[in-house]
Structure 1
Amino acid sequence: MKIKAAITHAQGEPFKIEEVELADPKSNEVLVKIVASGVCHTDAVARDAAIAPLPAVLGHEGSGIVERVGEGVTTIQPGDHVVLSFAHCGHCENCLTGHPTVCETFNDLNFGGINDDHTHRLSQDGKDLSTFFGQSSFGTYAISHERNVVKVDKDVDLALLGPLGCGIQTGAGTVLNRIQPEFGSTIAIYGAGAVGLSAIMAAAIVGCKTIIAVDVHDSRLELAKKLGATHTFNGSKVDVVKEIKAITNGGTHYAVDTTGVPPVVRQCLQALRPLGTAAIVGVTPEMTIDVHNDLMAEGKTMMGVIEGDAVPRVFIPQLVEYYKAGKFPFDKLVKYFEFDQINEAFEASKNGSVIKPILKIQQ
């Protein structure tokens, strides 16, 4: 079928909305009419650093309505409202033990440009286009494997829900699924973007006593307070480690770094109390840490977390229920853009004027 999609033709080029061909869904696949798709930093990295084969149709926070299902699909049916999440094999040891975010073939399935069966569904003028994250949701329609498709409540605005498939899931899941802070514990979140603010809301849900937001934008820190932060620090104006240790009597029990900025990663380690745990979520370049003083000597733990260590078909509906109950107001992070404003949406994300842009693909 002919669809409209935003194509990344070459590294660093602006998106171009053009007509492409989308093949029929195969066994265990679902055809989704895309209603909206979140704009994520990972999409920008794929465009600018070519971490996936180009040309490609990017987009990996899609939400939409199921149009058709392939042979063997049993959990999804036409008319269902769904969110598309990351691809995973479903049969490796990590998938089978509830950790599909570290699927043994995660990189191949999400960044390799091909579908689950190692073929393509997208093409233009007879030439294959790469798929991204097993969905390519920057298009009017997308095909995804059944296990990557999450059925959601029809009572909630479907256009809002796409970011639950990656960014929002990453922040909330890192807190709720992986580090699991105890009631009354202390936590610092470094970076108050979509991922960090989602982590703050999650920390409020579990009852952390002290929730500290660190960022360099005062406007984001103000929003962090409204979403559950008890304290905020502008890292460009104060000694963050000193301030955190002062208000927590020696450091936080937990920390989440969403920035990937080496000096900030070191701060998050140094501001932990003995036996504290830091979860690193941001894509961090090679850096140097003092393993003895920053980790080993005080029994601290440093871990990497991908996609919030979530099982999307379990976790995303839980987040929707928290949203409906008024405990996870992630709608305060978003601003909508029309599909043909895709390049403006990416610029708004880059310059920080919008925390989570969402493209309305079809009305």
Structure 2
Amino acid sequence: MQAALVVRSSTGFDFEISFVDIPTIGSSEILVQLSATGVCGTDMALASGEVGPTCQILGHEGIGRVVQVGESVPAGDIQINDRVGIAWLRDICGKCAYCLHPGGETRCAEQLNSGRKINGTFAEYAVVPARYIIRIPDHVKTSDEALAPILCGGVTAYKALRVCGAAGGQWVAVLGAAGGVGAFAIQYARSMGLRVLAIDAGESKGQYCLQLGAEAYVDVLGADSVADQAATITGRRSISAALVIAGSAKGYQTALEILGPFGTLVCVGIPPPHELVSFHPLLFIDKGIKIIGSAVGTREDIIDAIEFVERGLVKADIVPVRLSDMPRIAKEFGEITGKYVIKYDVHGQLQL
């Protein structure tokens, strides 16, 4: 099969397009033939090597069809040609304190992650443990290319909004709004009846955010005080939740400054290890602010997030590419709006 292998050097990283063996499955695994996969910012962070060891094959926003089922997989659990997703979470233990907590599987202490502990979706085939399958419901007719980005970027935004506590008609701020996850956050928030204040760096990103459904935009590069500008835009109504998508200490500090009484700071973006956010506890005591950490989403969250797409309420801004484009994408990543989605050539089922 064809795969994009990450190659690191003293000057950075690149992707090398190579032919490698189709993986062999174990008795309790399934083999999936990929038809599409998104390219996520996390893939670039993993490729850099700055977040620890990885596999050579990254990628975690894949959609495909089952082409082989292990002999120990219970009959009826999964069928050949079933449509499935391959996301960041590839397997969980199901018994740790996190897994036993409702909705806690995304923090499983023994989790396997695509590209980090098991080969990812930048290849034509991938192996999935049968006990952790993301089945795409039969009634979903949205294309594989449109669904792929929902498996990480989309569900990350959706889950952050689900846990933020804001109700319809209230203001939420999205910091890093013009990026891949931020663009989804604007659309999901709008679809949930929330009023969106988009915040990012650069005047050119404003029109994009407004087109996606944001009610207003603040350019941090052109604002003397983001907090004052936010207060003016909202008519001094409280901002109920601030989703920090772009991971920087400054972004978190800005979010704290604009939150209203009893607001919620939702931590999504991850700053570099050396960047720490400084605050005095009195800020939280006086204003009643809560801090919540949100990480991707459960299998149920993914299906819920997909339903918004199927209903036409949320749409990924797709930039279609081929697997052979990965070396170029690595150099250009972050320079465009929209979501790179790799489309694979699928010429019938694999004969095994």
Q: Deviations over 1:112-159 (max 9, x none)?
A: xxxxxxxxxxxxxxxxxxx53645100010001234432224622112
Aligned to 2:37, the other structure's residue is in SS state: strand
Report whether the alignment pairs 1:235 with 2:217: no
Counterpart of 1:188, as a letter, is A
Match of residue 350 from structure 2: none
1:107-118 to 2 correspondences below 5 Å: 109-110=112-113
Tell me how far apart the structure 1 counterparts of residues 261 and 219 of structure 2 sit (CA, whole Å).
24
Q: Deviations over 1:282-326 (max 9, x none)?
A: 01233132223542321111222111xx222x2222222221222
Q: Deviations over 1:250-308 (max 9, x none)?
A: 5401110011111111010110011110101001233132223542321111222111x
1:171 pairs, out of 132, 157, 163, with 157
1:89-100 to 2 correspondences below 5 Å: 89-96=93-100, 97-100=102-105
Match of residue 124 from structure 1: none
Report whether the alignment pairs 1:357 with 2:340: yes
Provide closer, same or farther for how the CA distance between residues 236 and 293 of structure 1 changes in structure 2, counting only shifts above 3 A.
Answer: farther
Aligned to 2:269, the other structure's residue is in SS state: coil
Counterpart of 2:256, as a letter, is L
Provide closer, same or farther for how the CA distance between residues 264 and 148 of structure 1 changes in structure 2, counting only shifts above 3 A.
Answer: same
Aligned pair count reads 332
Q: Deviations over 1:162-188 (max 9, x none)?
A: 222211110111102x21421221100
Tell me how far apart the structure 1 counterparts of residues 103 and 8 of structure 2 sit (CA, whole Å).
36
Match of residue 283 from structure 1: 270
Report whether the alignment pairs 1:144 with 2:132: no
Provide closer, same or farther for how the CA distance between residues 135 and 155 of structure 1 changes in structure 2, counting only shifts above 3 A.
Answer: farther
Could you state the TM-score of these two structures normalised by the residue count of structure 1?
Answer: 0.85
Which moved further from structure 2: 195-204 or 286-295? 286-295
Report whether the alignment pairs 1:197 with 2:195: no
Determine if contact 2:14/2:330 at 8 Å carries over to the other structure: no
Tell me how far apart the structure 2 counterparts of residues 219 and 148 of structure 1 sit (CA, whole Å).
42
Query: Identity percentage over the alignment?
Result: 27
Long gaps (5+) in structure 2: 347-352
Determine if contact 2:37/2:60 at 8 Å carries over to the other structure: yes
Match of residue 338 from structure 1: 322
RMSD: 2.1
Which moved further from structure 2: 317-326 or 40-49? 317-326
Aligned to 1:243, the other structure's residue is in SS state: helix
Question: Which has the larger helix fraction?
Answer: 1
Counterpart of 1:150, as a letter, is I
Counterpart of 2:40, as a letter, is C
Provide closer, same or farther for how the CA distance between residues 54 and 184 of structure 1 changes in structure 2, counting only shifts above 3 A.
Answer: closer
Counterpart of 1:237, as a letter, is G
1:184-263 to 2 correspondences below 5 Å: 184-192=169-177, 193-208=179-194, 210-238=195-223, 239-248=225-234, 249=236, 251-263=238-250
Determine if contact 1:60/1:135 at 8 Å carries over to the other structure: no
Provide closer, same or farther for how the CA distance between residues 234 and 133 of structure 1 changes in structure 2, counting only shifts above 3 A.
Answer: farther
Tell me how far apart the structure 2 counterparts of residues 150 and 135 of structure 1 sit (CA, whole Å).
17
